[in-house]
Chain A
Amino acid sequence: MDINVRKRSEVQLIQLRGPLRLGSAVDELRQVIEEAVGQGDTRIAINLAEVPMIDSSGIGLLVRFLASTKQRGGNIKLVQPSKFAVQTLRLVGVLNLFEIFDNDDAAVESFA
């Protein structure tokens, strides 16, 4: 999985490319988010436009950090999840836990 991290207006914008699933993809994203949260950056937007699939391991990672960032006054927001990613999040009952945006700008501005 390719992971690109930028900081915009005090928001960590994480762009993913490839399936988010058990193994190196989930391990690498966990490390990126842990580093951000460890530095006090708890306002995170994750762009999923190029993520065709999220497995239960990836979902577990997202909801775990959603809870921990919210506890610190932050949030994890999702940008442009694919139709199948949305379907998967809905099937396991966590879709409504997340705020979802059509583009990076809207997600970043929502933290203001």
Chain B
Amino acid sequence: MTAESSDPGQWFDLLDLSVPADRKAIAQATDTISETLTSFEVPEEKRLQIALAVQEALANAVVHGCKNDPSKEVRCRLKRNSQGGILVTITDPGPGFSPLQLMDPQQPGRLYADHGRGVSLIRQLMDEVDFEHGGNQITMRKY
């Protein structure tokens, strides 16, 4: 195991996954992340919140970023700091998007919509969420 600094701003690598852009691969990647968090004794509620945020971000990357093309790959990196903080970065090869263009899924006319809740859910589950590189990379932190 890597020797850890007590600097909470320093992040240590836990996982670096290449996930095929296939809907069936998302659950397996999410489970791998969840099992890794369990091995580091991350509390259950925090682990579930991170796992669901990862599930949503991977789904967006596969479905929108890669257009479900299994020849493409999504990169998923998991890190932690000495204070128990968790950082997840998910990158897809797509053109990106502007999160400002997303509609509010809680608008009355959209309550029964069958899609469009993923990013809103990620923002509420995680403490910090940043979209980078034109929107094809999301970085999420949970403290």
Footprint of B on A, CB under 8 Å? 19, 21-25, 52-53, 55-57, 59-61, 63-64, 66-67, 84, 88, 91-94, 97
- Give the interface SS of chain A, mostly helix, strand, loop or mixed: helix
B105 at interface, CB cutoff 8 A? yes
- Give the interface SS of chain B, mostly helix, strand, loop or mixed: helix
CA–CA, A105 and B23, complex, Å = 36
CA–CA, A1 and B111, complex, Å = 26
Contact of B55 among A22, A24, A63, A64 (CB under 8 A): A22
CA–CA, A19 and B59, complex, Å = 15
B15 at interface, CB cutoff 8 A? no
Query: Given A21-B27, A53-B51, are A60 and B114 also a contact pair (CB < 8 Å)?
Result: yes
Q: In the bound complex, do residue B113 and residue A63 qualify as a contact, i.e. CB atoms below 8 Å apart?
A: yes
Q: In the bound complex, do residue A60 and residue B113 qualify as a contact, i.e. CB atoms below 8 Å apart?
A: yes
B118 at interface, CB cutoff 8 A? yes
Q: Which residues of A contact B51 (CB under 8 A)?
A: 53
**Size bracket, chain B contacts:** 20 to 34
Q: How far is the CB of B45 from chain A (nearest CB, A)?
A: 7
Query: Given A84-B48, A91-B124, A92-B106, are A21 and B112 also a contact pair (CB < 8 Å)?
Result: no
> Using an 8 Å CB-CB cutoff, how does the interface string of B44-65 with A read, 1 for contact, 0 for none?
0100110110011001000100
- Contacts A21-B27, A21-B30, A52-B48 known; 18 new A-B pairs at CB < 8 A: A19-B27, A21-B55, A22-B26, A24-B24, A24-B27, A55-B52, A56-B59, A60-B115, A63-B112, A66-B112, A84-B48, A88-B121, A91-B120, A91-B124, A92-B105, A92-B120, A93-B105, A97-B111
CA–CA, A53 and B120, complex, Å = 16
Q: Which residues of A contact B113 (CB under 8 A)?
A: 60, 63-64
Contact of B56 among A24, A56, A61, A67 (CB under 8 A): A56
> Using an 8 Å CB-CB cutoff, how does the interface string of B25-54 with A read, 1 for contact, 0 for none?
011001000000000000001001101100
CA–CA, A67 and B23, complex, Å = 26
B74 at interface, CB cutoff 8 A? no
Query: Given A60-B115, A93-B105, are A55 and B24 also a contact pair (CB < 8 Å)?
Result: no
